[in-house]
Amino acid sequence: MDSILLKTPLTFIGFLLITFLIIYFLWPEALLRFGRWAFPKIIGVQVRYAEHNGYRFCYYSRGKPGLQPSILMLHGYGFDKDSWLININFLPKNIHVVCLDMPGHGETTCLPGENYTTFDQVKRIHQFVECTGLNRKPFHLVGISMGGMVAGVYTAHYPSEVCCLSLLCPTGLNYPKDSDIMKRVKKNRKNHDVSLVPSNIQEGIEMFRLGLYYSCMAPKQLLKGFFVDWLPDNNFFRKCYLDIFSDESLYSLQDNMSKIRVPTQVIWGKDDKMLDVSGAEVLAKGIPHAQIHLLEKCGHFQPVDSPLKTSQLLVDFHTSYTKN
C-alpha cells in the first residue's frame, strides 16, 4: 500500500519533469509563451486595450488611479510590456502602474507605412494618454533605452502632464564615448544598412547577450524561444531601427533635454555595452538637478541585470517627489 502511494506521486513528478525538459529543448517558445501568460496573472497585472481612431494600444495595468500619481512605463526597442514584469512585482500594490506596448511593438497596432521617429512615437503615446484619461493628473513617466528617449522628449513637449521622470540608459544622446555597437550603428545608418537587426536566431542571441552583464540570466533555450516569435516581425523592426537612428531622432533627447524641468532621475549600468554610461554625464549637465545613479555590475537591460536595485530607485524617487 505504502509503496504504491509513494510511487504514484514520484511517477507523476517524473512525468512532469520529463515533459518540461522535452518542451524546454524542443519547443522553448511554448514555454516562454506560457510564462508570459501566467506571470502577469500571478502578480495581479491585467491586459487592457484602448482604441484611438482604429489604432489599438495594448497595455498592462495594475491598481487604480488614486492619491499617488500613476506610473507609465515605456519599454525599449524590440521588447514589449513584459520587460517590466519583474519590476512591477517589486512596486507597492497601491500605486497605479501602466506598461504600454510601444507603437508597432507587442500587441499594439503595427501599421504598414507608420513612422517611428521620436516625435512620431511621442504623438502616439500622447493619443494613448488622452484616450485612457491618464493625464487627468500628472503622472510619473519611466522609459528605458528607446522608451527613455521617447519619455524625455514627451516630457519636453507635454510638461504639464508629467510630475517626474525616470530615464534608464536612454537613446537619443551624443555619447561622449560611443560603445562598439553604437559606432557600428552610426557607420551603417548613413547607408540605411540594417545588418545590425538580427535576421536569425544566432544573431539574436548574440545581440541580446550584449545587453546583459549576467548573460547566464538569459539561458540559450529561452532566447531561442524569444527570437522564434521575434523574427517574423523583422520588417517592422528594421523600419523602427532606421527611424530611431534617423537624422531626426539620433540626438532628439539631447536637443530637447533643456526643456525638461520636472524632477528627473537617471539610472545607468556601468557595464552597459550598448549605450555607454558616459551618456549619464550629458543628462546631468542638460537637466537641472537631475539625480544620477550608476549601477555596478549592470548592463543595458537593467530590469534583468538589477531588478531589485532599479525597482528600489524608482519607488524611492516616486515617493520622494509625489508626496502631495
Q: Which residue has the cell 523592426?
A: 237
* C-beta neighbour count of 119 within 10 angstroms: 17
Q: End-to-end alpha-carbon separation of the chain, Å? A: 66
Least Cβ distance, residue 81 to ligand NAG (angstroms): 23
Least Cβ distance, residue 114 to ligand NAG (angstroms): 5
Catalytic residues: 145, 272, 300
Element (H, E) at 48: strand 46-52
Query: By beta-carbon distance, which residue lies closest to ligand NAG?
Result: 255
* Residue among 90 and 119 whose Cβ is closer to ligand NAG: 119
* Residue among 45 and 185 whose Cβ is closer to ligand NAG: 185
Residue 138, C-alpha cell as written in the block: 500628472
* Residue among 242 and 298 whose Cβ is closer to ligand NAG: 242
Question: Whats the size of the chain, residue-wise?
Answer: 324
Q: In what order do the strands lie in the sheet with 55-62?
A: 46-52, 55-62, 97-100, 71-74, 139-144, 162-168, 264-269, 291-295
Least Cβ distance, residue 293 to ligand NAG (angstroms): 25
Query: Across the strands, what pairs with 143?
Result: 74, 167
Least Cβ distance, residue 149 to ligand NAG (angstroms): 10
CA distance 13 to 34: 19
Query: Across the strands, what pairs with 50?
Result: 57
> Which residues of this chain interact with ligand NAG, rule CB under 6 A?
113-115, 153, 156-157, 248, 251-252, 255-256
* Residue among 164 and 257 whose Cβ is closer to ligand NAG: 257
